[in-house]
Structure 1
Amino acid sequence: MKKIQLSILDIGMILQGQTATEALAQTVRFVQLAEDLGYKRYWFAEHHNAGNQISPSPAILIAHTAAQTKTIRVGAGGIMLPNHSPLKVAEDFALLAAIHPGRIDLGIGRAPGTDGLTALALRRSREAVYQYDFPENLEELLHYFQRDFPTDHPFARIKFSPSPELPNIFMLGSSNGGVQFAANKGVGFAFAAHMSPDIAVPTLRHYNETFQPSNWLTAPHGIYSISIITAETEEEAYYLARPAQLFWARIFSGTPIGNFPTLEEAHAHTFTPAEESAATRMGNSMLIGTPTKIAEQLERVTKEAGVEEVMMLSFYPTIESRVNGYRLLAESMSLT
């Protein structure tokens, strides 16, 4: 087994007291820090109608941060394909790949990443909201990139990007739904263990076992994505994790989310029975502890899943704790 590679998934969370402009400026510094520490890639999620997150357009964030870094791969984790025209996604990411050759990733999601009303606003018709046409849209997207539409296909006449540079392609998954698309199409696969930890390992193993080589990849490339909070001591790590635990408990219990909790708010909060139940159910979706403990857990789970890359989703409550967590984990995993 090769040394584990570490990457970062950023959902664009705005901390309380930050402006959107300040949060975006800090994001650039996080990507630069990740590059300096030896992280492999830095991805931005797509979310809409989320007042505490500023990541509705991963392509714009990719362009902004890739222009201020040199070597780290930057990408979308992901583009929610139901919200977009396949041609527009292909054009955007072919352009990004031409601007930053060898550094752009395109992660593709099957869900809208938002609520039904916002999905309607994005897609402009109820028919588009309720129609499941992801397989056709994925096929179309890949045809653009590979420039291999059947000659009798009407879109074969579209003059796609003249640039030969293309992004790396990954399917995203948090259930059994996306894995077979990744395996059948021969593209990478990133599984969100922070959403569905109990099926992460078998799903990634299934991807490895059923993967079909393609023009994109000759061998499977799976990524295990998980929330991580680390600090010098176990006590400090759990102290820092309390806001994230409250944030996710609110999401999974259906209670109002509001802003991302501060440390003071989270530690003063008494969980409702619904929040306690949600927190218990999501217990395995976050790794909390010292860097040594986290490294041991990642070594074990990546071996079980048959992957060599972990993508870290960070919910640190302060800028300082996030910077420290990135450094500690990089050192414990010998990235540099």
Structure 2
Amino acid sequence: MISTMNEQNIKLSVLDFVHVYKYSNPIESLQNTTEVVKLADQLGYTRYWFTEHHNTTSQISTSPDLLSLHAASQSRHIRVGSGGIMLPNHSPLKVVENFTLLEALHPGRVDLGLGRASGTDGLTATALQGSRDDFSVQLNNLLSFFSRSFPEEHPYRRIKPSGGLSLIPELYMLGSSQGGVHYAIERGLGFAFAAHLAPKLAVPTLRAYRKNFVPSSYLKEPKSILTIAVITAEIDEEAQYLSGPLELMWARMATGSIDISFPTVEEAASHVYSHEEERAREYNRDRFVIGSIENVAKRLRGIAKEAWVDEIMVADFYPEQAARLKALELLAKEFGLNRKRGAK
């Protein structure tokens, strides 16, 4: 298969972790997210997804469904959803009910991205009391609830979720390895790959998805998204300064540090990297796209073309709200997002 993606028509989306910055609080973080959602909607971004993480004081993205409801109520055009719902933590039926309700409230604007991991540590996963079923069973149950297609002998066939077949959101599998992609291929779902988690696997996995996709009642043609951390500004030096907290946090995570909170730009700028941290920092280079808007746009277009995708989802690791908003504006202008929306 040869890529037919047009690098000039790349769509941009946002993945929000709802970071709680140092010396801030969850209320302010959610206010920041509301501001970003409104701006992304105005600028012409395609979708706005929320992650699911637990047992951390530096993020408050514990409930993507609730955050999606809030985001949808604060916007008019942008699609909202989960990046993703970590299915092992949930009842498939309850996920179907919640996202059916979201789709009914905001028709044609809801995405359900599904992950195979728990998004947390083992103890917290146990405390969440999610399903004990194998992921394949969970996914089959979820899709059968949506499509009302349980086999005659299945006990769940008697359960009729509220709504109907017209209230199914767009469905995506998430992946950061070669595991999740097989579910997307075989079940005919959209696919989003987290390149910031596994940069070397992104291109071959996304190409394999498009080569082998099997159409389904959910999706007739493959639909893929590459997610990667992006830090951009008007000039390279400013972007490098703003990327300091991101690089330091990931270096600390890679070296087993107990402090994996989001550093401030001042803390990152004055930090003296240990030998191990410096090695981790160098290893992490491919996880991020950092630089001036011109250099970032060039690299994003190249990545999209190589991975056969027409949509890049920006994983948001900006250390300051003002820089976050400015970057959204720079990217929107560079990729002509408002112009594309007007042409639809």
Q: Which residue number in structure 2 is paired with residue 160 of structure 1?
A: 161
Moved over 3 A (4+): none
Shift of 1:278: 1.6
Q: Could you tell me whether the CA contact under 8 Å between 2:224 and 2:311 is conserved in 1?
A: yes
CA gap of 1:124–1:134, structure 2 versus 1, over 3 A, is: closer
For 1:115 and 1:9, the matched residues in 2 are separated by 21
Shift of 1:277: 2.0
Which AA in structure 1 matches 2:44?
A: G
For 1:136 and 1:327, the matched residues in 2 are separated by 42
Q: Which residue number in structure 2 is paired with residue 335 of structure 1?
A: 337
Question: 2:95 aligned with 1:94, yes or no?
Answer: no
Shift of 1:282: 1.1
Shift of 1:17: 2.3
Q: Which residue number in structure 2 is paired with residue 307 of structure 1?
A: 309
SS state at 2:183 partner: helix
For 1:277 and 1:142, the matched residues in 2 are separated by 43
SS state at 1:148 partner: coil
Q: Which residue number in structure 2 is paired with residue 226 of structure 1?
A: 228
Question: 2:57 aligned with 1:79, yes or no?
Answer: no
Which AA in structure 2 matches 1:279?
A: R
Unaligned runs of 5+ in 1: none
| 2:68 paired residue among 47, 50, 62 | 62
For 1:258 and 1:275, the matched residues in 2 are separated by 13
SS state at 2:113 partner: strand
For 2:289 and 2:171, the matched residues in 1 are separated by 27
TM-score w.r.t. the length of structure 2 is: 0.94
Unaligned runs of 5+ in 2: 339-344
For 2:259 and 2:49, the matched residues in 1 are separated by 23
Question: Considering only aligned residues, what root-mean-square deviation do their CA atoms show, in Å?
Answer: 1.2
Question: Over residues 257-296 of structure 1, what are the superposed CA-to-partner deviations in whole Å (9 max), with x where a residue is unaligned?
Answer: 3431001100111112222222122110000011111111
Q: Which residue number in structure 2 is paired with residue 148 of structure 1?
A: 149
How many residues of Structure 1 are paired with residues of Structure 2 in the alignment? 331
- Once the two structures are superposed, the pairs formed by residues 197-208 of structure 1 within 5 Å of their partners are 197-208=199-210
Q: Which residue number in structure 2 is paired with residue 38 of structure 1?
A: 44
SS state at 1:106 partner: strand
Shift of 1:307: 0.8
Q: Could you tell me whether the CA contact under 8 Å between 2:72 and 2:106 is conserved in 1?
A: yes
Q: Could you tell me whether the CA contact under 8 Å between 1:229 and 1:288 is conserved in 2?
A: yes
SS state at 2:80 partner: strand
Shift of 1:211: 0.2
Q: Indicate the larger mover: 154-163 or 181-190.
A: 154-163
- Once the two structures are superposed, the pairs formed by residues 185-334 of structure 1 within 5 Å of their partners are 185-334=187-336
Q: Could you tell me whether the CA contact under 8 Å between 1:98 and 1:166 is conserved in 2?
A: no
TM-score w.r.t. the length of structure 1 is: 0.96
For 2:34 and 2:252, the matched residues in 1 are separated by 29
Q: Could you tell me whether the CA contact under 8 Å between 2:195 and 2:287 is conserved in 1?
A: yes
Which AA in structure 1 matches 2:292?
A: T
For 1:300 and 1:55, the matched residues in 2 are separated by 31
For 1:158 and 1:114, the matched residues in 2 are separated by 31
Q: Percent identity?
A: 50
SS state at 1:282 partner: helix
Question: 2:137 aligned with 1:136, yes or no?
Answer: yes
Q: Indicate the larger mover: 255-264 or 214-223.
A: 255-264
